[in-house]
Structure 1
Amino acid sequence: MPKSNILTTGQEDAFEKACRDAGLRLTHQRLEIYRQLATSTDHPSAETLHQRLRRDNPTLSLDTVYRTLAVFAHHGIINKVETVESQSRFEAKRMRHHHLICSRCKEIIDFQWHHIDEAPLPEETRTWGRIDNKNVVIYGVCNKCLEAKKAS
């Protein structure tokens, strides 16, 4: 669910610096897209972000949202959450974490797993090349969906 779309001064400053460092112009649309994403807790898709943003920005196109998210992800300003569904989901959270994904309702929950983050990779991966990211995604069925199935 989205929260208020107000960033702290520190969050906004960090975003502006990330844009400058990436050579990106800071536009009103980019700032609004980032604000909406950074204050969302539900890992929204581009379509969901677009629907939320259109309330205050009726001329904002879905294409602009897609292109902006792609540029932000390319420059590491946001994360594209890897899922098996065809619709990409996004987050602005910068803290190291992993994801639980319900295969029924598609809810995504963040969790930390320090043992995995600190564990060395298996020997056979060491000669593969450069590893840029180590990420765990766990799929299952959440308790809400399990309870709903019991009730039906």
Structure 2
Amino acid sequence: MRMETIHIQRQIQHFEQRCKGAGLKVTHQRLEVYRELLGARDHPSAETLYKRLERRLPTLSLDTVYRTLATFEKLGLVHRLETAASQARYEVLHTRHHHFLCDVCGQVFDFFWPSFDTAELPSNVGEIGTVDHASVVVHGTCTACAQAQQEYDARQAESLQ
């Protein structure tokens, strides 16, 4: 059995244990929303998840997806990432990482920053309150969008000559 398959099976077992521990039934809809999110690498929104699942689950509603994601977030099964456009994007919690958000195309890229993860918070943060977790969202322009803009600028410059 491939390592990825074993990892997915462990994640599903963890999901089932968390739901049962919280007194929630592991319904077919909950399981399918979690599976879809587990396999996603693009940090989908609730709307995107709904569109991906609606053919397989014709009785699923967008409201159910929103409520399910909120439940998963409370259980610590998923992480909600707020974007500049105020559209939440979701991912299954796995390894510690941070996010690069392209402000042009909206793609979210994962990156690792071990020195940030091991840095101590400033002492005055403790005076403000208790920190549950810390993560970084870096905003910028991805390489593909920057290259497309450069090509567009070059074409514009040529047409002016």
TM-score (norm 2): 0.86
- The aligned runs of 1:4-83 (5 Å cut-off) are 8-83=8-83
Measured against aligned partners, the alpha-carbon deviations of 1:72-102 in whole angstroms (never above 9, x if no partner) come to: 1112111101322221100003211110000
Gapped runs of 5+ residues in structure 2?
Answer: 1-6, 153-161
| Correspondences of 1:117-132 after superposition (within 5 Å) | 117-132=117-132
Which deviates more from structure 2 when the two are superposed, residues 136-145 or residues 118-127? Answer: 118-127
Tell me how far apart the structure 2 counterparts of residues 123 and 11 of structure 1 sit (CA, whole Å): 36
The AA in structure 1 aligned to 2:43 is H
Gaps of 5+ in 1: 1-6
What is the Cα deviation at residue 116 of structure 1? 0.8
Q: Would you tell me which structure has more helix in proportion to its own residues?
A: 2
**Equivalence for 1:4:** none
- The sequence identity of aligned pairs, in percent, is 47
2: CA distance, partners of 1:44 / 1:95: 18
- Structure 2 Cα separation of the partners of residues 125 and 92 of structure 1: 28
Q: Which residue of 1 aligns with 2:95?
A: 95
Q: Distance in 2 between matches of 1:129 and 1:93?
A: 24
Q: Distance in 1 between matches of 2:18 and 2:151?
A: 48
Tell me the number of residue pairs that the alignment of Structure 1 and Structure 2 aligns: 146
Worse-matched range after superposition: 29-38 or 73-82: 73-82
- Ranked by relative contact order (alpha carbons within 8 Å, sequence separation 6 or more), the top structure is 1
Give the greater-gyration-radius structure (CA).
2
Displacement of 1:21 in angstroms is: 2.3
Q: Which amino acid aligns with 2:125?
A: T
Instruction: Find the aligned partners of 1:22 and 1:113 in 2 and give their Cα distance.
Output: 33
> Which ranges of 4 or more aligned residues in structure 1 deviate by more than 2 Å?
none
AA in 1 matched with 2:126: R
When structure 1 is superposed on structure 2, of 78-87 and 60-69 the one drifting more is 78-87
Which residue of structure 1 lines up, in the alignment, with residue 144 of structure 2? 144
Kept in 1: contact 2:101–2:140 (CA 8 A): yes
Query: For residues 91 and 8 of structure 2, what CA distance do their matches in structure 1 show?
Result: 17
Letter in 2 for 1:26: V
